[in-house]
Amino acid sequence: MTEKNYNPEQRNTKALKKQEVAIATPEFKKAEETKITKEKTPETSVKEEKKQKVPEVKKQIIKKEFAIANLMGVPVSTLDAIYICKFIKYKTIEKAISDLEEVIKKKKPVPMKGEIPHRRGKGMMSGRFPINASKEFILILKGLKGNSIVNGLENPVISEAIANFAPRPFGRFGSIRRKRTHIKLVARDKRQKVKTSSSSKQSKDSSMKEKTKEKKK
């Protein structure tokens, strides 16, 4: 074995010499100066400068003229959903929810057609109380109400109510097929009718009479 392998003092002396040589180099001095300058400048001042340079960009919320609630594969009978859509259409969301709550309590039937037991009411021949379907529709209408608030609709009215067949999965052991429907509801602002005054009507009638006289001449 040589002296290098078993003499630890010799190793320490060599390491100290290498450190002294590295400190003497100009690159090491520059690195130390940069560290000192970074320590003097606080990080907060640097962050404030960056904030001043970068302009703040605000996100613009795009408001729509309608609100949609579109659900796929709802566990509801399609026949019941179609008649509930007709029962809800052209009503306000709050009115539709209150009517469906009365259907659940069996106070107000949903009008239907075909060989269905008679439930007497105004303007209807036969109807039923689809409780499970009306509960699902109430949840959908509440979601539609939230979407209308986000889009800034003041007086939302259900303009579209569509129910379509969905793929029906098999039940246990493949003996039963479950009921599924696709439901789409669209709400829009209620159009306010402007009442025409009597003076404007008279002016229109007079203008029409003058035009007819000119044509005859």
Q: Which residues pair with 92 in a beta bridge?
A: 157
For the residues of 100-111, what is the DSSP string, one character each?
HHHHHTTSSPEE
At residue 195, the pLDDT reads: 46
Per-residue pLDDT at 206? 67
Name the token pair of 158: 């259900």
Give residue-wise pLDDT tens across range 198-212.
Answer: 455 565 566 666 666
Cα–Cα distance, 155 to 145 (Å, whole number):
10
Give 1's pLDDT tier (boundaries 50, 70, 90). very low
The DSSP bridge partners found for residue 155 are none
pLDDT of 76 strictly over 70: yes
Look at strands 181-189 and 126-128 and give their pairing.
unpaired
Mean pLDDT of the 10-36 span: 67
Task: Note the Cα 196 to chain centre separation in Å.
Answer: 39
Question: How many Å apart are CA 13 and CA 19, to the nearest integer?
Answer: 10
Q: What is the pLDDT of residue 48?
A: 57
- pLDDT, tens only, 97-136: 999 999 999 899 898 887 776 666 666 778 889 999 999 9
Residue ranges of the domains in the chain?
A: 3-43, 66-189
Name the residue with higher pLDDT: 210 or 197: 210
Q: Quickly state the pLDDT bin for 75 (edges 50, 70, 90).
A: very high
Give the other-Cβ count within 10 Å of 83's Cβ.
Answer: 22
Locate 153 and state its tokens.
Answer: 């609709």
The three-state secondary structure class of 177 is strand
23: closest CA among 32, 35, 36?
Answer: 32
> How remote is the C-alpha of 29 from its chain's centroid?
60
pLDDT at 196: 44
What pLDDT, on a 0 to 100 scale, did the predictor assign at position 191? 73
Strands 126-128 and 110-112 turn out to be: antiparallel
Q: Would you say domain 66-189 falls under CATH 3.90.470.10?
A: yes
Query: Which residue has tokens 């009115």?
Result: 95
* Residues shown for the chain: 217
pLDDT for the residue numbered 19? 67
Q: How is residue 170 annotated by DSSP?
A: B
